A and B are shown apart, each in its own frame.
Chain A
């Protein structure tokens, strides 16, 4: 009996109803899965639990932004439904989440999934299924560099290489003969940024005089800092994650080494890094940014900032609108909304078309920082602006630096 059933099932091919062969819609105006005349379903995977759960605020920011758009009537009458699943920052759970979102929840697109390894784990799948996998929340340069093989994937924030170019341009202008001592985290993130910087200063008079690395698991970086201090460098490029950013700032403050201190954006949080070490120790540190910092008083009267804070309060009252991660999620969601608005027909291909041909300003991005893509340029945001800490707040410096092309 059982064998008979087996034979029957095998004979009929796969007997399941949800075969996703037709996914993607064949070019015509026929709507793709996850999009109707009244709704658009998006999905993302975030670490709501586990060691990286601080990033969960990004999902809150995005949810609030979509809710605010829905309250205004949605996009051409379509309300956005955003499903954020927990992966605990474990790549295999990101994979099952992506499958669930695509096959079971039938989302129109994957939006803003967080973490470099988690996105690397799902990008082959998303591209095989021809599901847009857009505005991923990671700064790796791979997302924009490999659009030929992964046409459905795109990053969002300035990648680490663009960030490094921003610092190099700043130095070429302000300190063209800088001798740079570098501290970097020995992993994909640190090497991406350092590599970008090395390439960007090639052919200039800027020299890298010392490179010291540390492991994320190291307890301290005391010996690295001592070596860098003795290297004769007059500029310190600090490529670190928050815990080590704070240690490095403290080490410089205690020593008699007084370099020009460039701190990467990952470690530039006032709340997480600068306040714990003492704001006076952070004076004159240079970093970069690309979106409006909700803690910065200069944006207090900015309409975009006010809309953001009101939207957060109304739709995600439990989240802290002063957290930069919330603003990040909000701004990424704004970009998604613009892409959906620009979509010519309700298909996944049309969405990718819109994502790949963008040239717009997003209100929560810094003035002059635009989202620009072309079919050959897979990096949406590449402009950055240098900021300097004045002892109380980050102050924007000079012009926006365009790192693209």
Chain B
């Protein structure tokens, strides 16, 4: 059943660029990039229980890695993605080491510092990054044997392949031993240690892995926009990733897609309603969303699924079991409250 649903989604995703205008397709291309980055953040926040307010920094690092390699060294676009992932993995590992000693608010502040510093750092190294002028890296051309595709369709499909790989990989990780260990680290560190989970190792690796995802997202972003500039990677970006995972559903893999749709489309529609109040409307929608869907879109879908098929709604992902248990975590608390109302 679940497998069929995923296959259906995949077919829709492949068909999508053939039915939407090129403007819409370019928006969906960005959604894919944001989804991969949000997925990475969700691995960190949702699964391993650490916090990062600075994932925009890794996203920027990935985007600039791709843009610089393409624009200055003439690399093929796809080849830059593993490099972006590796560089961000290393950077994430480095940030993850202080994260071992810092918890909650303190870690939040350290990572917030990263997000604040990113645009300025980009401007400092203007020899490499182009500074405030930005850096232009022309998007990949459609290969000859696929010449029936328009440029935007080709870039979308390219990003889709990368995104699908990243999602399949993440689903495998959270379902397996590593995922279980991460959840154990999140829910009860003492118990996790008792069971032989090396806390330091898993925490730093979760950080590194999550940063690598953000980096791949950034690389996809650079490929689809064809231009990077410091203004794209401000504080707001890091916060919108956080919004994306909460809106989509913490500790879920598919939630990243809904979250990414949210952060790409809601600001645009908010500005359509009233451009002077765009930020207010966006914030308002976010608040309403959290009141109405405290467990995110995926949480809602699961509740609906559980209603249609009582007792068969175990999602297969860890969050499914998590809601039954209800730890003191904010997301769970909210979930509990909603259930109590019912």
Q: Which A residues lie at the B interface, using CB under 8 A?
A: 2-3, 5-6, 9-10, 13-16, 18-20, 48-51, 56, 84-86, 88-93, 95-96, 99-100, 102-104, 115-118, 120-121, 124, 140, 187-189, 215-217
- Tell me what chain B mostly uses at the interface: helix, strand, loop, or mixed: helix
A215 touches B124 (CB 8 A): yes
Give the chain B neighbours of A13 by CB distance below 8 A: 148
Bound: A180/B275 CA distance, A: 44
Q: Could you say which of A16, A85, A86, A117 contacts B133, with CB atoms under 8 Å apart?
A: A117
Q: Does B110 contact A (CB under 8 A)?
A: no
A121→B227 contact, CB < 8 A: yes
Is the CB–CB distance between B134 and A99 below 8 Å? no
What residues of chain B lie closer than 8 Å to A50, measured between beta carbons?
236, 279
Q: Is the CB of B132 within 8 A of A92?
A: no
Chain A residues near B275 (CB-CB < 8 A): 48-49, 56, 84-86
- A99-B23 in contact (CB<8A): yes
Cα A189 to Cα B153 with chains together (Å):
36
Q: Given A2-B8, A6-B11, A92 and B18 touching (CB < 8 A)?
A: no
**A-B interface, 5 closest residue pairs, ranked by CB to CB distance from nearest:** A117-B229, A86-B271, A99-B23, A121-B227, A2-B11
Interface check B184, CB cutoff 8 A: no
User: B204 CB to closest chain A CB, in angstroms?
Assistant: 30
Interface flag for B138 (CB, 8 Å) = yes
Docked complex: B141-169 residues within 8 A CB-CB of A: 148-150, 153
Residue from B148, B149, B226, B275 with most neighbouring chain A CB atoms (10 Å):
B275
- CB neighbours of B20 from chain A (8 A): 16
A14-B148 contact in complex given A6-B14, A49-B279, C-beta closer than 8 Å: yes
Q: Which of A20, A84, A85 contacts B22 (CB 8 A)?
A: A20
* Contact string against A for B residues 1-12, beta-carbon threshold 8 Å, 1 for contact and 0 otherwise: 000000110010
Q: Complex Cα distance A215/B124, Å?
A: 8
Chain B's closest residue to A217 (CB) is B120
- In the assembled complex, how far is the CB of residue A317 from the closest CB belonging to chain B, in whole angstroms? 14
A179 to B127, CA, bound (A): 30
Q: Are A89 and B231 in contact (CB under 8 A)?
A: yes
Q: A6-B15, A116-B133, A120-B133 are in contact. Are A95 and B23 (CB under 8 A)?
A: no
List chain B residues, Cβ under 8 A from A91.
Answer: 134, 225, 227-229, 231-232
Cα–Cα distance between A107 and B120 once the two chains are bound (Å):
36
Residues in A neighbouring B24, C-beta threshold 8 A: 104
